[in-house]
Every structure is written in C-alpha cells, then in structure tokens.
Amino acid sequence: MAFKVVVSNKEETHQIELDSNEKQIIGLTIGDELSGDLLGLDGYTLEITGGSDKNGFPMKKDVEGPRRVKSLLTGGVGYKPKFNGVKRRKTLRGNTISDDIVQINTVVTKAGNKSIDAILNPESEDESEDSAEE
C-alpha cells in the first residue's frame, strides 16, 4: 500500500503518492520535520501535521504511538460538536506513522529553488510557454 502525502504551501495543495517501503517515514510523529527529497521535492522541508489510517480514523497529536484508541472528545480533531457541552466517544489513531496510515498531511516549512508545481508537472509549464509564444 502507498502513502498519499498531501503537501500544503499557503493556498496551494498538492498530493503525491509515495511507496510505503520508505522506512524513513515510518516511525515519525506529528510535528516532526521530513526532507522533501524523499518525495522528489529537492530543497524542501516539510512538517507533518496529521493524517488518517486505512479506515479513515484521523491521527491526533495527544495520543502516543501508532495505536487506535477510543477517546471522549468535546471538540477538536475528529469531532465537531453541534452544541456547547456535548461530548462524544470517538475512535482516533495515535501520532506515530505506521504501515496502517494511508494519508499524511504536511506543511512546507522551508521552500526550495523551484515551485512545487514546476517540480511535479514540468510538461505543463512547457505547454503554457509554447502557447504564450504563439
């Protein structure tokens, strides 16, 4: 199974598929920094902000380890109450990336020389330059 890494850079968001055989990603926690070289983004540094597992349960920074827990929530990640004071028991995933994680959310902390769009779609820039010349 592959990871889907969602990279957010201000208003732009890009989704990159990454092979789950990358042992450097497994074991990282929410808040850790990740080298963009693993994703093909040379010169970029990414911070892990969250994710979700294969069943759709969100990762929460407060829960240690890769395990799944049922927690009583009043709001925040995993639960948005409709009224004040409402609590609900919800299932959450821990803050550590394991083989069960499918999606990893990241934010750019250090940008590289090229834009992410130029790195991921080099042929689309060539086409836009060709159409501008005509």
Sorted by where each begins, the domain ranges of the chain are 2-64+94-133
Predicted TM-score (pTM) of this structure: 0.83
* 32-44 residues labelled b (16+ CB within 10 A) or e (exposed): eebebeebebeeb
Residues 34 and 68: beta-carbon distance below 8 Å: no
Whole-number pLDDT of residue 94: 94
pLDDT on residue 1 = 61
Phi-psi region of 75 (alpha: psi -120 to 50; beta: other; left: phi over 0): left
One pLDDT digit (tens) per residue for the chain, 134 residues: 678 999 998 888 999 888 766 678 889 999 999 888 888 888 899 999 999 999 999 999 999 999 999 999 999 988 999 999 999 999 999 999 998 999 999 999 998 888 888 888 877 655 555 555 55
What CA–CA distances, in Å, run from 25 to 12, 13, 37, 71, 90? 23, 20, 12, 26, 26
